Structure 1
């Protein structure tokens, strides 16, 4: 990892096409070449850049939820490069312990991110006072700090969604701030029909 690689993560990516609104509960799941839904209930999370402590916490939570729900498919989507994503995964606690219903996909061009309504965010999303405080608390309380960022953008919006076996979005949590960590157990409950339909977020 070089200084220039770290610096480049602060440059906002440019999208040639406008990004649609994120899908809401009841909408059909967007179709992309990167994400092939299997027909089983699926929880998807689109991560911030590899190296972000919130992306790490999100992935660790997703992994734990996947272990508890083996009949549900879990997808983690990274927009960092394949090499950077692999290196990041190898550096995480209990690396290699992912259950076989959890899959990591790479969408370096952010085509799937855009199809799911996740575009470039502004200054307040990334560098809010609350978000900066959350970075410190996450490090102090759980030992999750920033790791080197080899590729990816800090300005890419994250988000999580739940899709039922018919390919319909049932749970939608596009991130409202960089520090947001979602409750994947809630998502599983909604997708499997064990809870009321969650309120979508725009």
Structure 2
């Protein structure tokens, strides 16, 4: 009983921690279409194929789970595109979460608990309205009812981190830059992402 109570108390503490506003960081501007994509020691891009980079909300967020599941399926259908998912939860928590939501398949998972990579790509901290607006809360409910993807315990990370999706061509230039307008954002991989990379390949603006 004591062990169970201690475990519950620890889980509650982690949940409360996820609601705390994290330290402010210097956040770069969001890359524009045609800009060179930010690269770093943590996140490098291949030179032989285009890349999709997805920045997740915290592990446990149902929209992060939905996004990751779609990205893994996309990665197997499009081996010509390198897929990266960035998490700001800890390495151990991210590893456990990836297994829980179905495995990484052909996705490279980058762990960025300091949120340096997020900041370099223009993704900072969201507002309360962004994270808790009625539409996002209803979308979370529908995602659970319709697809069985529910909010789960937050092991580490913050609920206030912005998410986003970027498509980068083989030369390292940004072809799609989407910053989440609300917490329920899920990228359209088969539509917008593919169209952005197809337009680039055809030499269209």
TM-score by length of 1: 0.90
Over 3 Å counting, the alpha-carbon distance change for 1:35 and 1:138 in structure 2 is same
> What is the aligned partner in structure 1 of residue 141 from structure 2?
136
Query: Separation in 2 of the partners of 1:20 and 1:108?
Result: 17
Aligned equivalent of 1:61: 70
Cα distance per residue 1:103-127 (max 9 Å; x no partner): 1110110000000000001111000
Aligned residue in 2 for 1:171: 176
Q: Does 1:42 align with 2:51?
A: yes
Say yes or no: does 1:6 pair with 2:15.
yes
Measured against aligned partners, the alpha-carbon deviations of 1:123-150 in whole angstroms (never above 9, x if no partner) come to 1100001000000000000000011110
User: Which residue in the other structure is 2:193 paired with?
Assistant: 187
Q: Give the 3-state SS of the residue equivalent to 2:123 in structure 1.
A: coil
Gaps of 5+ in 1: 198-202
Counterpart secondary structure, 2:71: helix
When the two chains are superposed, the root-mean-square deviation of aligned CA atoms in Å is: 1.5
Counterpart residue number, 1:200: none
Which structure features the higher share of helix residues? 2
1:20: how far off?
2.2
The 1:139–1:33 alpha-carbon spacing in structure 2 relative to 1, beyond 3 Å, is same
Aligned to 2:183, what secondary structure does the other structure show?
Answer: coil
**Which position in structure 1 is the counterpart of 2:3?**
none
Distance in 2, Cα, partners of 1:96 & 1:154:
22
Superposition map of 1:98-177 within 5 A: 98-99=105-106, 102-177=107-182
CA deviations over 1:141-192 (Å, ceiling 9, x no partner): 0000011110000000000000001100001111110001110122133123
Deviation at 1:97, TM superposition (A): 6.1
C-alpha separation in 2, matches of 1:41 and 1:97: 19
> Is the Cα contact below 8 Å between 1:164 and 1:192 reproduced in 2?
no
Distance 2:113 2:194 in 1: 27
- CA distance in 2 between partners of 1:26 and 1:141 (Å): 38
Deviations 1:71-90 (A, max 9, x none): 11000000000011011111
